[in-house]
Amino acid sequence: MLQSNINNTRSDVAQLMHVLLELTTRIENELSRSGAEGRKRFEGQAGQSDD
């Protein structure tokens, strides 16, 4: 899921991890508020691909 290279500093990676944590927290909070129907809708969307 995450690949860093020699040009990425530890700070860059830490910032990315922080943003990913914020996103997952927001998603989980929204799913908690939306209930079973919201989770079902999210799971349907998350499994889709634009390829």
Q: What is the pLDDT of residues 4-24, one digit of tens each?
A: 777 888 888 899 899 999 999
Residues in the chain: 51
Torsion over CA: 26, 27, 32, 34 (sign): positive
> Whose structure tokens read 């927001």?
26
**pTM as predicted:** 0.63
pLDDT attached to residue 10: 86
Neighbours of 30 (CB within 10 A): 12
Confidence band for 38, pLDDT divided at 50, 70 and 90 = confident
